[in-house]
Structure 1
Amino acid sequence: GGKRAVVMVPFGSYCLGVHSSDSDIDVLAIVPRHVTRQAFLTELEPVLRQHPSVSGLHVVPEAFVPVIKFHWDGVDIDLSCACLPLDAIPSPLDLTDSEILKDLRDAKDVTCLNGPRVTYEIIRRVRNVDAFRTLLRCVKMWARRRGIYANIVGFPGGVAWAIMCAFVCQLYPNMDASMLAEKFFWLYSSRGFEVPVKIASVDECKPPKGAAYMSQWSAGAGPPRPMQVITPTYPVANATFNASRSTVAVVMREIARAHGVASGVAQGRGSYAPLFAASDFFDAYNNYVAVECLSQDEAALKAFHGYVESQIRKLVEKLEGECSDYLAFAHPCTERFGPRGVE
């Protein structure tokens, strides 16, 4: 116990216990009131750059969650920061208690704290954590291999797949992981995503008394998104907000294919191996659009390519709207290629 100048909190796949050797590790630095986010990002950068274990450092201050990205001895780290209105940070710190949000006025602090808060709540909401972890490992590996794991271009990301798995575990709390895998693909091939996937009711996710109001997802507010997977803590949000009609069509096609494989295994036919076959993206279509990013120095290219990648989903939605007469859907690739030298 006691007070500290900073508390480091891992979250995401590492905290869920489903990380792999190529996973990045999400870490939140929780700092007291006298440390601003701007100071954290700008003053920590040169310190990290000089450290012999650090490489590939890149600061993204304008991101939805401002972050410092770097490799530490080859491990990808995403480091973000939340500032609490305290003189020092208590240790241990209970992030599951919504009271921690009470005196926060900066929406970015709430957003950053929601990373670990959502992670802890997902685990709390499932009865058999071991079965959940095995199911999530299976689903994540399948989604990566099939090229449908990338929130930035409109596919579900790690949080969304975790909530989807937790939802299945809530429905079938006594099933083992193998049966849960078959149920996962059967359920989502049947129900789709127009009805929101929720592991906690929105009524349970209320702000503490006196907290600054933050806009949050609510059923029927605004035009419905094609995919709705809802986070289980205040302020509730659609973890698949970036999804488009096209990416949902691709996800549903892949779920139908996976259901065929999983139901065959359940009936004693075949194995799970075809489930994890690599995507045939570059053989599947007649027409492709390539987006090239060009720059004269690598640092600028890294920043620019991150921005361009974040706009791919808007290109997809533009193609959906303007080419709807002859385009069934636009399937964005989740891989990036390069950087390479240009003559």
Structure 2
Amino acid sequence: MARGSSRPENFGVTKPRSYAYPTEPEIHNTCNLLEVLDQHHPCKSAEERFLQSSALDKLNKIVQDWVKELTPRGIKEVNAIFFAFGSYFLQVDEFADPIDTICIGPSFVDHEHGFFKIFHDKMCQMNEVTRLKSVRNTNVPFMEFKLDGVPIKIVYASLPYSVIPFNFDLHQANVLSMDDVSRNSFDACRVTNEIYRLVPCNKTFTIALRTVKIWAKSRGLLSNVIGFLGDCDWAILVGRICQAHPFATLSTIVFEFFSIFSVWFWPNPVMLVDPRSDPHRLPVWDPHTNRNDIMPIISPVFPCKNIRADASASTLRDMIYHFKCGYEQCKLIKVNNNWRDLFMPYKFFEEYIRYVHIDLTADTEQKLELWKKIGESELLVLISKVVLILG
């Protein structure tokens, strides 16, 4: 938005906290932060981006061929929609991270047989596909593998059409007509697109999110497997700060992120849109009916729900502690301008003298991957029982 243009009423559920434009010191701070990111936490190389792009192009062709092979006679111009979402779409991923992708297919291709049997077998027969595994017993079933060395995760959603319209609109799709598994898979990809649409400055948001994720990773917080926050959670938190400061520069967004969430009055929800604006009459998150939620972070797509409904009291205590540490570090950065200190690794073994160490072993790499996935699925159960006993 140009400086002379009119200000919108709001960029989210409330009016912005500040319409201020960056000052010279704030711009200087941002330049220093960008320099630290470039030197010590560089983005993917051109070669890595090319490898990812090539792998996605190849997977798209595989997906289109697979759907055509399953097409009944008499149906012409059949197609599938395939694209990447998540951290890859937001440009905050690392090369080692699996790229989140989705295939949106016609009604005659189902999950159980079409996706997890026919497509799985097709991938198994390809020499360039390695470490293939299927995870079905989850809200969003998926397959994960490496294609030409590039890690990829794919989910599938079936639409109630024999032929998907070429002008298909991701945000106007009627989720009421989908089965539950397809709806969950569909929502997973729509969340990323909607977050990106709801923030006022995409470039500032993207770099701020990458900054916060690097900080979270350095402190062991970048994992919803052990009860902390996942990619969507961090994106919504950073997105809310961007909405509150629509014209702020990068350093201000990072400062405000820690300033606000170090004192956030949970269980007040963090949301980018009002969930009551859902036009489809599906059950949505409500502070009265969901009053037991500890750390509500609300998905911006209908049906809006708390994507951190499994957060425990101990998770919240840990997160608040780390947010406060980040805020204290930011106060020092305003004085010494040393952004490297924000990303210093957390001294876990100095902080905790008692901890649980789990070793997993298997006789093949494929079995180890499967064993690891089983272990991760049970880890939250273990954590919840420990929290229940120790408080």
TM > 0.5 between the two?
yes
Give, in angstroms, the shift of residue 254 of structure 1. Answer: 1.2
Give, in angstroms, the shift of residue 294 of structure 1. Answer: 5.2
CA 314–206 in structure 1, closer or farther in 2 if over 3 Å, else same: farther
| 1:122 correspondence with 2:195 | yes
Map Cα deviations across residues 196-252 of structure 1 (whole Å, 9 max, x no partner).
Answer: 0010001122317xxxx4x44221224522211100111112121232222222211
Q: Which residue of 2 aligns with 1:26?
A: 100
Q: Which residue of 2 aligns with 1:229?
A: 297
Aligned runs of 1:142-291 on 2, under 5 Å? 142-207=215-280, 213=282, 215-266=283-334, 268-291=335-358
Equivalent residue letter for 2:289: A
Identify the range of structure 1 (3-12 vs 290-299) with the bigger mean alpha-carbon deviation: 290-299
- Structure 1: how far apart are the matches of 2:375 and 2:92? 29
CA 264–53 in structure 1, closer or farther in 2 if over 3 Å, else same: same
- Structure 1: how far apart are the matches of 2:217 and 2:89? 19
Identify the range of structure 1 (296-305 vs 272-281) with the bigger mean alpha-carbon deviation: 296-305
Equivalent residue letter for 2:170: L
Unaligned runs of 5+ in 1: 325-343
Equivalent residue letter for 1:240: R
Q: TM-score under structure 2 normalisation?
A: 0.76
Map Cα deviations across residues 297-323 of structure 1 (whole Å, 9 max, x no partner).
Answer: 554443333122122222222222212
Report the secondary structure of 2:327's partner residue: helix
| 1:80 correspondence with 2:148 | no
Report the secondary structure of 1:58's partner residue: strand
CA 265–164 in structure 1, closer or farther in 2 if over 3 Å, else same: same
- 8 Å contact kept, 1:16–1:123: yes
| 1:12 correspondence with 2:79 | no
Q: Which residue of 2 aligns with 1:93?
A: 168
Give, in angstroms, the shift of residue 194 of structure 1. Answer: 1.5
Q: Which stretches of structure 1, 4 residues or longer, exceed 6 Å deviation after superposition?
A: none
- Structure 1: how far apart are the matches of 2:84 and 2:197? 16
Q: Which residue of 2 aligns with 1:332?
A: none
- 8 Å contact kept, 2:131–2:366: no
- Structure 1: how far apart are the matches of 2:169 and 2:349? 47
- Structure 2: how far apart are the matches of 1:287 and 1:256? 23
CA RMSD of aligned residues (A): 1.9
Report the secondary structure of 1:56's partner residue: strand
Larger radius of gyration: 2
The total of aligned residue pairs comes to 315
Report the secondary structure of 1:55's partner residue: strand
Map Cα deviations across residues 250-302 of structure 1 (whole Å, 9 max, x no partner).
Answer: 21111111111112222x32411111112222332111223344555554443
Aligned runs of 1:283-322 on 2, under 5 Å? 283-293=350-360, 295=362, 298-322=365-389
Equivalent residue letter for 2:342: L
- Structure 1: how far apart are the matches of 2:360 and 2:286? 38
Q: Which residue of 2 aligns with 1:43?
A: 118
Report the secondary structure of 1:152's partner residue: coil
- Structure 1: how far apart are the matches of 2:241 and 2:77? 40
- 8 Å contact kept, 1:3–1:90: no
CA 16–92 in structure 1, closer or farther in 2 if over 3 Å, else same: farther
- Structure 1: how far apart are the matches of 2:331 and 2:306? 30
Unaligned runs of 5+ in 2: 1-75
Give, in angstroms, the shift of residue 174 of structure 1. Answer: 1.0
Q: TM-score under structure 1 normalisation?
A: 0.86
Write 1 or 2 for the structure with the bigger share of helix.
2
- 8 Å contact kept, 2:111–2:156: yes
- Structure 1: how far apart are the matches of 2:214 and 2:128? 29
Equivalent residue letter for 1:74: G
- Structure 2: how far apart are the matches of 1:3 and 1:218? 43
Equivalent residue letter for 1:73: D
- Structure 2: how far apart are the matches of 1:89 and 1:150? 35
Q: Which residue of 2 aligns with 1:335?
A: none
Report the secondary structure of 1:251's partner residue: helix
Which of 130, 136, 145 aligns to 1:70? It is 145
- Structure 2: how far apart are the matches of 1:121 and 1:253? 30
Equivalent residue letter for 1:256: K
CA 260–130 in structure 1, closer or farther in 2 if over 3 Å, else same: same
- Structure 2: how far apart are the matches of 1:115 and 1:289? 32
